[in-house]
């Protein structure tokens, strides 16, 4: 029996005069928002694997100290993930590292980030995908959004075992920094992996500059052929992403494309979504003296982070959502009277319609 909220055939026919088109679609697999964030992630509270000057807190401790909270309400709510910015602690600054309970093999990952902790001396924030398949880097790592200290532009990186490289090619707008994804590759710094620098020079891809424009979206498309990363500042987010019907074929050139000398399926398996804010450690700490601004503040990264809690008030994430899509299915797009496209779930092929789902 057809559900009581289902449209009648007369409604369907009445709408047939609207302009419509059918798109090969990505279907939504998982949506991480303020409504389900805490239940969907595990809170890591062990010693930082990257030797950071940080104390990661469990959920109860993080909630009690205000390191995690929900900002706003309803569909406009976002997840706040901050750091301690009031205490001098010789053991390291309190922060959060979370990992999704669910892992993935392929997909389209859309991160809507309103505010990030970057461009602050001592910080090392990242939004990334990490394998649970074995000892790092077995199973691979995809760094979608990452930087250290006063960095102003995003760096995207893959970390793998031997046998994975990227080759210079057209098809992306970023610049290759290091080509070999093997963390032990000769001729590169240890654990560097293969990195691509964001092409923006105005600082709007990371840190303060990105925060000043209200953040934006990073979308990562992971297939057997390659791994592509797209970036859209807040004012330029495609409508298809906004309405929940992402269509990468219309997004233009990605900022990064990892391909050319890597068997993707061999090197990337069972990846979890991770957010964290570290301090100092193997990147921010090692690079401290490379920044004129940072090294003028203190003799070392650890000393600055320990003694200047107020410097980290803005070192927080504000995440509107992370949505994971998988290829498959079709979605009917319809244009309303004012020319706007919208996703019309009622107008899928009627014979294949799943009436048991609750559509709004």
| Catalytic site positions | 141, 146
C-alpha closest to that of 226 among 178, 265, 272, 175: 265
For residue 274, give Cα distances in angstroms to 126, 131, 211, 277.
8, 10, 20, 10
Q: How far apart are CA 163 and CA 138, in angstroms?
A: 12
Residues paired with 85 in a beta bridge: none
C-alpha closest to that of 123 among 78, 83, 64: 83
Residues paired with 221 in a beta bridge: 108, 228
For residues 328, 330, 335, 340, the Cα torsion angle rounded to the nearest 10 degrees is: 0
Instruction: Tell me whether strands 155-159 and 341-343 are parallel, antiparallel or unpaired.
Output: unpaired
């Amino acid at each position: 029996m057809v559900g009581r909220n289902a449209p009648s055939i007369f409604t369907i026919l009445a709408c047939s005069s609207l302009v419509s088109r059918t798109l090969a679609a990505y279907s939504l697999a998982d949506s991480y928002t303020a409504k389900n964030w805490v239940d969907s992630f595990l809170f890591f509270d062990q010693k930082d694997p990257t030797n950071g000057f940080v104390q990661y807190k469990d959920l109860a401790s993080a909630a009690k100290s205000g390191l995690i909270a929900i900002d706003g309400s309803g569909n406009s709510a976002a997840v706040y993930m901050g750091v301690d910015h009031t205490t001098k602690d010789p053991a390291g600054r309190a922060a959060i590292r979370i990992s999704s309970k669910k892992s993935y093999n392929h997909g389209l990952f859309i991160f809507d980030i309103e505010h990030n902790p970057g461009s602050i001396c001592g910080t090392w924030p990242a939004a990334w995908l990490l394998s649970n398949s074995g000892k790092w880097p077995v199973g691979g790592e995809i760094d979608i959004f990452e930087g250290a200290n006063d960095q102003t532009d995003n760096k995207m990186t893959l970390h793998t075992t031997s046998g994975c490289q990227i080759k210079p090619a057209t098809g992306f707008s970023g610049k290759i920094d290091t080509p070999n994804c093997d963390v032990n590759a000769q001729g590169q710094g240890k654990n560097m992996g293969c990195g691509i620098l964001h092409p923006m020079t105005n600082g709007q891809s990371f840190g303060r500059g990105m925060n000043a424009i209200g953040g934006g979206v990073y979308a990562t498309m992971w297939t057997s052929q390659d791994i592509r990363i797209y970036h859209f500042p807040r004012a330029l987010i495609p409508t298809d992403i906004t309405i929940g019907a992402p269509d990468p074929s219309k997004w233009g050139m990605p900022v990064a494309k990892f391909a050319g000398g890597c068997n993707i399926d061999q090197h990337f398996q069972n990846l979890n979504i991770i957010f964290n804010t570290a301090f100092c450690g193997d990147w921010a700490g090692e690079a401290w003296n490379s920044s004129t601004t940072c090294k003028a503040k203190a003799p070392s990264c650890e000393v600055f982070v320990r003694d200047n809690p107020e410097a980290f008030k803005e070192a927080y994430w504000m995440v509107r959502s992370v949505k994971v899509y998988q290829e498959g299915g079709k979605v009917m797009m319809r244009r309303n009277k004012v020319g706007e496209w919208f996703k019309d779930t009622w107008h899928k092929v009627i014979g294949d319609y799943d009436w048991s789902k609750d559509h709004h």
